[in-house]
Structure 1
């Protein structure tokens, strides 16, 4: 197990994180949820950047607060609110990284910067949002970490740049023993990349599912009022009242397709699931 949160609690005013999740070797795990749901707090708990009120955080087999410098080098990180000074150039940053990480490959890093059109001699304050985002990901990948913690790594990137970054992440996972925990508001990125997915809502994990199962078995039913009353609701996870009837989230899409041939059943994309869990209610 690369990382795990076990009944971790953290209180901020009226917000409380109450979270259990696991990241296994050889898997890319997605974490989704609305802004303020607790994604960044969970990431910071894994990294030991905040003190948790209760529960256990373990990274690579031990408490996250007791990691040695060598073990910390095994973690690559992208956080939305962290970066190098805006007055530094990529060339200067590469020399700093060389001193910080024993396995930092400067030549390979600079070559990848060239491939992604990241200028080496301009200060970061002159970079576009997309350039900054690409640089953060390359830095996280540059020192052969076993675990990547990536908070919105493709934010601000165009389609071409996002595809380049996702390809780098897939290439990274070709070596055994590695894992990624990633959040993104771009659902298509997660659908094409992740092996499993956690959804966090108001600080709590309310869904954990393999991506293949999520895309194959989950769906959104569109049900008129007169049909809803007689609908078998055992496979319904959430219901939202609409002007024309009800939207229903199910994890048994095939059952409803087979038993209610006239029913509208839409594919359960990540975006649809987030929307339904946010606005819908449990029966």
Structure 2
């Protein structure tokens, strides 16, 4: 559905070199700190900024050959995009009908009522959550094959985030050939939604893993200095000096549980994996 090969973009104080792939029927997450390169990657994928090298293939076509008709197969949410605040939902429905040949206005209005968005209220008077829901509803209402969503849950409360993620789950359930690429710095949003995760740091992908594997096989080992010196480190990805000794990130939790029954093994959350991958020392 989407393949990026060494996508490059250089600024004065930032360089992007990103490779990732979104498979058909999958939800792929791109996670990382603010400023890690998520938005730059998304804008480059969509041709909104020039690139310094690499190749982008979307729905089997090179980005350079992507036509306006092809773009109708994409549903896009960007953090800095949106409608004029002086319009209402009533105003934008005819606009969307003109923009997208496959716009499903009955589905759109059904969802507007379901998530209780006001039909005649100016968008500038919407809450942050209302604006976010509207952008996602537009993205999923024209039978897109691929959603590209940049931080769609940013700034939302827990309830609004859950409602938005539920929309995306239902979007995927209706057609097994659909796919989503979604970015977030709120990792808990992606744990239950994504099939696989890419971790980006300073413009480079530093980890790619299936979400189930990340949650089941990755762990933090908490060891004293003496234990650390005797530890088999072939499955240690990163380690960090702590007051008690060392914290070690592994992707083979069971190996250490079986062979080192006296050390503390803690299930690593995605946030802890991110922290260790960024701040820990490589073995």
Quickly name the TM-score band, shorter chain normalised. over 0.9
Shift of 1:278: 1.6
**How many corresponding residue pairs?**
282
Q: Does the Cα contact within 8 Å between 2:34 and 2:185 map onto a contact in 1?
A: no
**3-state secondary structure, aligned to 1:161:** helix
State the partner residue of 1:200: 200
List gaps (5 residues or longer) in structure 1.
none
**Which residue matches 2:133?**
134
- Write out aligned runs for 1:1-283 (5 A): 2-174=1-173, 175-283=175-283
**C-alpha displacement at 1:216, in angstroms?**
0.9
Q: Is the 8 A contact 1:28 1:182 kept in 2?
A: yes
* Residues in 2 aligned to 1:176 and 1:264: alpha-carbon distance in whole angstroms: 41
Q: Distance in 2 between matches of 1:125 and 1:189?
A: 26
Distance 1:95 1:9 in 2: 38
**More deviation, 148-157/35-44:** 148-157
> 4+ runs of 1 displaced by more than 4 Å?
none
Q: TM-score, normalised by structure 1?
A: 0.97
How far did 1:156 drift?
2.6
Does structure 2 retain, via aligned residues, the 8 Å contact 1:18–1:204?
yes
Please give the per-residue CA displacement for 1:134-184, whole angstroms capped at 9, x wherever unaligned: 111111111110000011112232323222222221111120221000112
- Partners of 1:202 and 1:31 in 2: CA distance: 13
Deviation at 1:103, TM superposition (A): 0.8
Distance 2:72 2:250 in 1: 42
Gaps of 5+ in 2: none
For normalisation by structure 2, the TM-score amounts to 0.97
